[in-house]
Amino acid sequence: MIFLIIGISKKFSANDFAVVIVSFTVAFSTNSIYTRYVYENIVSYNGINGSFSGIITDYDVYDGDKANYIIKGKINNRRTAKISVFCDNIGADYGDGVNIENCTFSIIKGDYLFDSKSYYKSQRVFLNAEKCGNITLEKRDSHKIRNFLANYKAKIISDFRIKLGDECGGILSGMVFGEKGFIGDNLKNSLYRTGIGHVMAVSGLHISVMAFAMMSVLNFLKINKFLCFVLVNILMIAMTVMADCPVSAIRAVIMLDMSFSARLFLRQNDTFNSLAIAVLLICLENPYVIYSSGFWLSVSGTFGIGVFAPYMVKNIDDSTYFGKLLKLFLAMLCTTLAVMPVSMMYFSEISLISPFSNMLIIPLCSVCMILGMLYTVTFGLLPVLQSAGGIIKIIIFISEKISESEFCSISVKNGISAKIAVICMFGVMLVKVCLENRRITAFAVAFSVSSTFMASSFLRNAQRKIFTVAVLGSGTNAVSVVSYRGENYIFDLSGHYKSAEYAEKYVAENGIRAVDFISLEKNANALYSAYKEKFAFREVREWYTAHDISGFSGGNSVIFGTDGYLIENSRYKIRYADRTLDIVHGDSEMMISSAKGGISEKNALSVYYGNIPEKSDMICDGKSIYLDNKSNIFYQYSGMNNFIVEISDDGTFKIKNLK
């Protein structure tokens, strides 16, 4: 409708209307048909027992001899589908056959830490296979090229880590193959806070740098242009396959092919048209790719650097050195702004200094990529790794120094702030299309950015004035974050090994820079290390523990023993003892306790973590939340986790699920 209004006012041609209407009709129809006849038929098997047989299309191996397999085949020899199976490592390779005699199919569900539902949905994987019976493997040796590339990738990554060390080798593995699993969390956070985290995922930048580097070498050697086109495509496809075919790399390959083929056939290439064609082709092949964060980041980033930035900086004089720097900086700024709405949708923090860091550090990263690629394509014969390692050490040093500043990034609430940013983005588009004036468009961009940040700051400050209790964790485990007017306390109740990850994500989303204390009781020694690592960029003023922590360093330590402790002031009172949290704020009372302790009748709201005993007579009274999903008609509030409770002075509670 917006397009029709603009088109009529701007007097677009009939061909313009026809192209857009046909594209919209094809896109809408493709998605609707796929949902009706593929997605809905597959998810109809949710909760049903059955069998599955197929071939391995993807897999990840984890510590503890576990693995997650993506298998394409048939449910009960009838319905074609791709499913996810987490089980013991069976030693399967790409293309091997797998038969599951008996299992229960369930819809993949997202979690507060990781939205696995959207991630797998973008790959057309809609079901998990759980409670699997006998799993048999049939070695077929059918995907020889892909298995060769996977094994070769593993060998090169091993070389990187052995010759450069885990830290530098891990970063080079990310730059060349998009493999981030060998990079420590603190280092990874430094890179993202600095604004160069995108170099750790194989994207258009990687493919473009490698393709143009190889094209330059082939042109220097005066190789036939058609043979150059073929050789560059072989390189791009091989790198894409070794990086497990990310959508950003596929988008880059399509657009680069258009650019290179335009030269072959003496046609003019247009970035905006190439991007639109690439998006259309990708979405027609997989309508659910729109659920992928990588897809949106790749498209918005390409639009920013290839369309928005050239338009905005077109009239800037770059005849002087200062002019060139200014033009480059503004181009990086435009790219950052184009990606910002998408970043706010998917991340809890966004970098404020990425235009500067991309100017300073990305050229160094590009050199490292080329050196790593040269080592890869020459089978390790070129002695270039030490040079790459030296540059990476410089990148690490700069990133860590920059990320230590609290002004290098800003926390954003994923919900309302992201929606405001998207609305502002559409407003800027309308201004540009209707007025075709760069100055006014630049003013609209500045107004939109300032409005978004002001709204985000307002929401953050408004939230701080509300007494909030967050209950976080996986399943029946619980870690609680209590916040009110700049005072923040973390209580690790169940001692789960992932509690630190849940707590860190929550404080990052809410812009919490300092925590008054972190309270640990169960598994305190192991959890202390986890929290120290996750909260490396945040101030933890005190540590409350039931006993001494081995290896304790930094901050103050309070040992509360078996009696627990009390936090009390004129606004609230918090009592912790025996892994039970009692909270009083105004006329409101709330308790978080283990389900083994039985139900309490004195609190206005109770939250019970842990599994409910089988013979328990606990019955939901309408004011209790159970993290256990025990199958009982009385437990209508069961199976909840990752939510916040906003407590008012008058004794009322507002419960919000976290996404």
- Per the prediction, the chain carries an average pLDDT of 88
**Same domain, residue pair 60 and 132:** yes
**Same domain, residue pair 18 and 59:** no
**Strands annotated E in 521-616:** 539-545, 556-559, 565-568, 572-577, 580-585, 588-594, 605-609
Asked, for residue 226, whether it belongs to a domain, the answer is yes
Asked, for residue 433, whether it belongs to a domain, the answer is no
User: How many residues does the structure list for the chain?
Assistant: 659
- 232-260 pLDDT tens trace: 889 888 888 888 888 988 999 999 999 88
Domain boundary (90, 105, 139) is at: 139
**Same domain, residue pair 243 and 204:** yes
Domain boundary (118, 139, 160) is at: 139
Cα separation, 226 vs 210, in Å, equals 18
Pairing of strands 624-626, 605-609: parallel
Asked, for residue 174, whether it belongs to a domain, the answer is no
- Out of 173-187, 511-525, 583-597, 635-649, the most confident range is 511-525
Pairing of strands 66-75, 49-62: antiparallel
- Which of 20-24, 41-45, 610-614 has the weakest average pLDDT? 610-614
pLDDT above 80 (res 1):
no
CATH of the domain at 583: 3.60.15.10
Provide the percentage of residues in the chain whose pLDDT is more than 90: 43
**Same domain, residue pair 31 and 66:** no
222 CB-near residues (< 8 Å, 6+ apart): none
Question: 408 vs 28, which has greater pLDDT?
Answer: 28
- Closest of 377, 374, 375, 369 to residue 163, by C-alpha: 375
- Out of 583-587, 594-598, 603-607, the most confident range is 583-587
Cα separation, 24 vs 655, in Å, equals 39
Confidence (pLDDT) at 64? 80
Q: Across residues 388-399, what is the average pLDDT?
A: 93
Q: Give the range of the structural domain holding residue 31, as residue numbers without chain letter.
A: 2-42
Going 534 to 536 to 540 to 542, the CA torsion angle's sign is positive
**Same domain, residue pair 62 and 103:** yes
**Same domain, residue pair 582 and 545:** yes
- Other CB atoms within 10 Å distance of the CB of residue 115: 16
**Same domain, residue pair 8 and 125:** no
Please, are residues 83 and 59 in contact by the beta-carbon 8 Å criterion?
no
**Same domain, residue pair 56 and 93:** yes
CATH of the domain at 111: 2.40.50.140
Asked, for residue 387, whether it belongs to a domain, the answer is no
For the chain, how big is the Rg over CA atoms in Å?
27
pLDDT above 60 (res 304):
yes
Please, are residues 49 and 129 in contact by the beta-carbon 8 Å criterion?
no
- 146-181 pLDDT tens trace: 899 889 999 999 999 999 998 999 999 988 888 888
Instruction: Look up residue 35 and give its DSSP letter.
Output: I
Asked, for residue 118, whether it belongs to a domain, the answer is yes
Please, are residues 215 and 370 in contact by the beta-carbon 8 Å criterion?
no
Q: What's the distance, Cα to Cα, between the start and end of the chain in Å?
A: 31
Confidence (pLDDT) at 240? 86
**Same domain, residue pair 510 and 641:** yes
Question: 199 vs 157, which has greater pLDDT?
Answer: 157
**Same domain, residue pair 610 and 535:** yes
Helices (H), 436-512: 438-464, 499-509
* Tokens at 549, concatenated: 């922590």
C-alpha 483 chain-centroid distance: 25
Asked, for residue 460, whether it belongs to a domain, the answer is no
What pTM was estimated for this model as a whole?
A: 0.85
Domain boundary (253, 271, 288) is at: 288
- 80-119 pLDDT tens trace: 999 999 999 999 999 999 999 999 999 998 888 888 999 9
Q: Produce one character per residue of 371-398: b if its CB has 16 or more CB atoms within 10 Å, e if not.
A: bbbbbbeeeeeeebbeebbebbeebbeb
Cα separation, 157 vs 357, in Å, equals 26
- State the total domains in the chain: 4
Cα separation, 183 vs 135, in Å, equals 33
**Same domain, residue pair 59 and 15:** no
**Same domain, residue pair 32 and 76:** no
Asked, for residue 576, whether it belongs to a domain, the answer is yes
Asked, for residue 652, whether it belongs to a domain, the answer is yes
Please, are residues 446 and 433 in contact by the beta-carbon 8 Å criterion?
no
Going 596 to 600 to 603 to 605, the CA torsion angle's sign is positive
pLDDT band at 633 (very low <50, low <70, confident <90, very high): very low
